[in-house]
Amino acid sequence: MATRLVLRLFFRLCAAIALFVALGASRAQAQTAVRGFAVDRFEPSERGSDWYANESLDFRGNFRPAFGTVFEWAYRPLVLYDPSNIQGNPRADVITDQIFVHLGGSIVLHDRFRVAANLPVALYQGGEDITGITQTTSTPEKQALGDARLSGDVRILGEYGSAISGAVGAQVHFPTGQRSLFASDGTVRVTPRVLVAGDFEGFVYAAKLGVSVRPLDATFEQRPLGSELIYSAAFGVKVNDRFVFGPEVYGSTVVAGGDRPFRTRNTPLEMLISAHLTLAQHWKTGSAIGPGFTRADGTPTMRVVFSLEYAPDVCVDPDGDGICAAQDACPSVDGVPENHGCPADRDHDGFNDPDDACPDVAGTRTADPKTAGCPDRDEDGVADREDACVDVAGVPTADPKTNGCPRAEAPFEKIVIPQQVIFAAGASALDPSATPALEAIAKLLSENPRLRVRIEGHADDREAKPADVKKLSTDRAEAVQKWLEARGVAAERLRSEGYGADRLIDTTGNEEGRRKNRRVELHPIEETTEPGKK
């Protein structure tokens, strides 16, 4: 409702201005010659903008301030030409160099309204001696105060950072400067305007359209002065929410005061290649440079701009963890500062605590998401707490007794029972941890009744006396055979042999290598014929 009211009032104001401009354009009366006017055509954006002549429409926050200075140097902004031959040779440089500093600030209210002020001060102006060229004006040679500016804008569409946002508002210039020093029009100027801006995933733009009502019924060097249509546009790139770079084009043309619009002498047009950088602690700086495109009064051959502003950023924190989205590695999940805005990871295993089934013990990714982040010593994808063969890589199964144990699949492939799980050094008794693997082998033999296997026992050359190594390996093979026979496997299908330390598979000599050598292997021998079959 409030937005509709604002729009209604704004469009009524525009209609009134259009009527004023139309009436002014139709007047045909003698106009007074003046010795000067506000030459500087650069109107800096309100503080906090990502552009110099355009508005990025950052209306976030409540009582959020921004203030700073903008320095500009214009080279040859006012050159006299023959009124009848504006494209001819210049008569003289009224102003060769003009240096302004703009002091300004703004306040954003309730995420929607902004009020701002700007005060231009001419630090230096100088040009040629034009005494013998014209008697209607003179070259300014001292510092001067420009026309103070007050602004008010209201956001009516979108928001900062969206694909499109819009605002309407107005600027008012007060005659605080002097015409003779080319720093003022000597009248109040009112400029209603429409502003748009947007951000397409790092490609940013902005534009402005307005009417500057100048009730200045006068001429300068036979050129009518009057109300103007103003316009500007910018586009560029934004990187990491800190750096904005791109060109800006801005200009105006007289639409009232007895002169036709878009004539060369009354249509200033410039371009700036600008860059803004957000520094630490909410400070912004930037610079720009660009040429003038026309010979209109106020258009320089070149303009250089530099700025330094304090513009506090607004902390957008969608997950409510106190870390701004621009610095939050997990902007949609509540996190902690020490983990860059992501949830805590107490065991530092790369799994955030909410996703870590074992948040206090470093782990790895497993086949079951319910055990993600849990230890998996044999790295087979089955967490240790659910792995029936925790020290040997296996496969996940639905049976807790075989989950994570090796699968004996092909009858004619070597079947290996890892020794470090079954036996201790110097022992031939089966360890309870070997049960799941042996049960898998018993099941395989049950499902393949024609399969016969040779059970090979092996030992390490350092776990017993040389005379006892052979017997130790034989005892290990026989222990496996007895276990299988006790589970119903016929004795004629099994043959056990001991090979001592003749077939070492690891000769490194370290403890891990010796554990690998203490093993039992099962090899298929042949298929037998079942009773009654040939």
Length of the chain: 534
* Identity of the residue numbered 214: R
Beta strands per DSSP E along 159-242 = 165-174, 189-200, 203-212, 218-220, 223-225, 228-239
Q: At what angle do helices 466-486 and 435-447 cross, to 10 degrees?
A: 60
C-alpha atoms less than 13 angstroms from C-alpha of 155 in its C-beta half-sphere: 23
Q: CA angle, 41 as apex, 38 and 44 as ends, to 5°? A: 115
For 78-112, write each residue's pLDDT tens digit.
998 877 777 778 888 999 999 999 999 999 999 99
Instruction: For residues 155 and 158, give the distance between their C-alpha atoms in angstroms, rounded to a whole number.
Output: 8
DSSP state of 377: T
**C-alpha distances out from residue 444 to 380, 436, 496, 519, Å:** 21, 12, 18, 20
Q: Residue 458: CB partners within 8 Å, gap ≥ 6?
A: 419, 473, 476, 499, 500, 501, 503, 504, 517, 518, 519, 520, 521
Helix (H) or strand (E) holding 119: strand 113-126
Q: What is the pLDDT of residue 501?
A: 84
**C-alpha distances out from residue 155 to 43, 196, 294, 501, 507, Å:** 20, 10, 33, 86, 78
DSSP state of 70: E
- 2-310 CATH choice from 2.30.30.90, 1.10.3470.10, 2.40.160.40, 3.20.20.60: 2.40.160.40
From the CB of residue 498, how many other CB atoms can be counted at a distance below 10 Å? 22
- Please give the order of strands across the beta sheet that includes 32-33: 32-33, 218-220, 223-225
Sign (positive or negative) of CA dihedral 286, 287, 292, 297: positive
C-beta pairs of 280-286 under 8 Å, 24+ apart in sequence? 282/310, 282/311, 282/312, 282/313, 283/308, 283/309, 283/310, 283/311, 284/48, 284/68, 284/308, 284/309, 284/310, 284/311, 285/309, 286/52
Q: What is the pLDDT of residue 119?
A: 98
- 8 A C-beta contact, residue 466 and residue 419: no
Q: What is the pLDDT of residue 24?
A: 47
Start-to-end Cα distance in the chain: 96
- 8 A C-beta contact, residue 319 and residue 334: yes
* Identity of the residue numbered 181: L
Helix (H) or strand (E) holding 11: helix 2-26
Instruction: For residues 112 and 345, give the distance between their C-alpha atoms in angstroms, rounded to a whole number.
Output: 39
Burial class (CB in 10 A: 0-12, 13-18, 19+), 172: middle
- 8 A C-beta contact, residue 366 and residue 381: yes
C-alpha atoms less than 13 angstroms from C-alpha of 320 in its C-beta half-sphere: 0
**Topology given in CATH for the domain delimited by 408-534:** 60s Ribosomal Protein L30; Chain: A; (3.30.1330)
Q: Which residue has the tokens 């052979």?
A: 470
Q: H helices within 413-521, ranges in order?
A: 419-422, 435-447, 466-486, 511-517
Tokens of 243: 């750096």
From the CB of residue 85, how many other CB atoms can be counted at a distance below 10 Å? 8
pTM: 0.60
Q: What is the pLDDT along the chain (534 residues), one digit of tens a residue?
A: 445 554 555 555 555 554 554 444 444 344 687 788 999 999 999 999 999 999 999 999 889 999 999 999 999 999 988 777 777 788 889 999 999 999 999 999 999 999 999 999 999 999 988 877 877 788 888 899 999 999 999 999 999 989 999 999 999 999 999 998 999 999 999 999 999 999 998 899 999 999 999 887 788 887 888 899 999 999 999 998 889 999 999 999 998 766 788 888 889 999 999 999 988 778 999 999 999 999 998 999 999 999 999 988 777 667 777 777 667 778 777 777 777 778 777 777 778 788 777 887 787 877 777 787 888 877 777 887 787 787 777 778 777 777 778 765 544 444 544 434 467 778 888 877 778 778 888 888 888 888 888 888 888 888 888 878 889 889 988 998 999 999 999 999 999 999 888 888 888 878 877 888 888 888 887 554 443 333
Q: Residue 95: CB partners within 8 Å, gap ≥ 6?
A: 39, 74, 76, 77, 78, 125, 126, 127, 139, 140, 182
Domain edges within the chain: 2-310, 408-534
- The candidate with the shortest Cα–Cα distance to 222, out of 88, 84, 93, is 84
Q: Residue 438: CB partners within 8 Å, gap ≥ 6?
A: 417, 430, 480, 483, 484, 487
- 8 A C-beta contact, residue 287 and residue 275: yes
- 8 A C-beta contact, residue 287 and residue 254: no
Instruction: For residues 480 and 246, give the distance between their C-alpha atoms in angstroms, rounded to a whole number.
Output: 78
Tokens of 408: 């004996």
